[in-house]
Structure 1
Amino acid sequence: MNVLDELRSREPIFHRPEHDVDFTAMVADEFWEIGASGQRYDRDLMLEVLAERQRTPSDDVWETSEFRCRELAPDLYLLTYLLRQPERVSRRATIWRRAGADWRIVFHQGTVVA
């Protein structure tokens, strides 16, 4: 499987229909995010938000498309895509770092499409 396919299968990373995802294993210690709201999240805050989502799951269906992948440095990749949610459409960008056979998220950003 190529890198684009590997990473596409992991997105949308923070909007997953599965409720048993171990986010602590996927999120790098230095992770941070700029949410579609414009709010900045560090790793601890993001993990709290995700834990709450897992406690109160939603049945909303999210659609992804327009995936692109670019290597930024050895084992560091930028993945971008479009995320359609019931209440909004946003562009997403995730920086992924390969860690052996696993992947870690270093950065994520969502930007609402007007």
Structure 2
Amino acid sequence: MNPPVHRSAATEPKLETDPELAEVLEELSAREPIFHRAEFGVSREDFERMTVEEFWEVGASGRRYSRNTVLDELEKRYAAGDDDVWETSEFQCRRLAENVFLMTYTLVQDGTRVTRRSTIWQRTAEGWKIVFHQGTVVTDS
């Protein structure tokens, strides 16, 4: 068993967004958590429009998932009609390249499951597209 990790201000990254990216931060935080906001769509076609063809993700389990696998799971989730209770915080946005941005934040689901999330977004002529996503379960504080 690993010893507990003690966090301090010195070990934490500086989670500030460049003021020049305030508009991008606002736009992207309104889209997170990805695939959980009905106003951006709930069908497979909607999710296809939200993602680049090469999209993939690393789940909280550490497993890698292809775009098709993610889309299949999303279809099942929305068909089941389960309640989706979540809260987001600690948004930070960083420019990675021209029209490519990293969005990070914390997600609490059902009041108990805490994950750190990161999404790489690309601004295209068709609108925002998700390139990559990762969720990591927070196991200590």
TM over 0.5: yes
Q: 2:76 aligns with which of 42, 52, 59?
A: 52
Alpha-carbon distance in structure 1 between the residues aligned to 2:40 and 2:30: 16
Matched, 1:102 2:123: no
Shift of 1:49: 0.6
Q: CA RMSD in A?
A: 1.7
Shift of 1:60: 3.2
Instruction: Give the structure with the higher percent helix.
Output: 2
CA 1:93–1:30 in 2, change beyond 3 Å: closer, same or farther?
Answer: same
Aligned-pair identity in percent equals 58
- The alpha carbon displacement at 1:101 in A equals 5.3
Which runs of 5 or more residues in structure 2 are unaligned? Answer: 1-21
Partner in structure 2 of residue 80 of structure 1: 104
Query: What are the superposed Cα offsets for residues 37-79 of structure 1, whole Å, 9 maximum, x if unpaired?
Result: 1111111111101111110122131000000000000000000
Q: Does 1:24 align with 2:45?
A: no
Matched residues in 2 for 1:54 and 1:60: separation?
Answer: 10
Uncovered stretches (5+) of structure 1, i.e. residues with no partner: none
TM (normalized to structure 1)?
0.92
Number of residue equivalences: 114
Instruction: List, as ranges, runs of 4+ consecutive aligned residues in structure 1 with deviation greater than 2 Å.
Output: 14-21
Question: Which has a greater percent of strand?
Answer: 1
Structure ID, larger Rg? 2
Higher mean C-alpha deviation, range 19-28 or range 7-16: 19-28
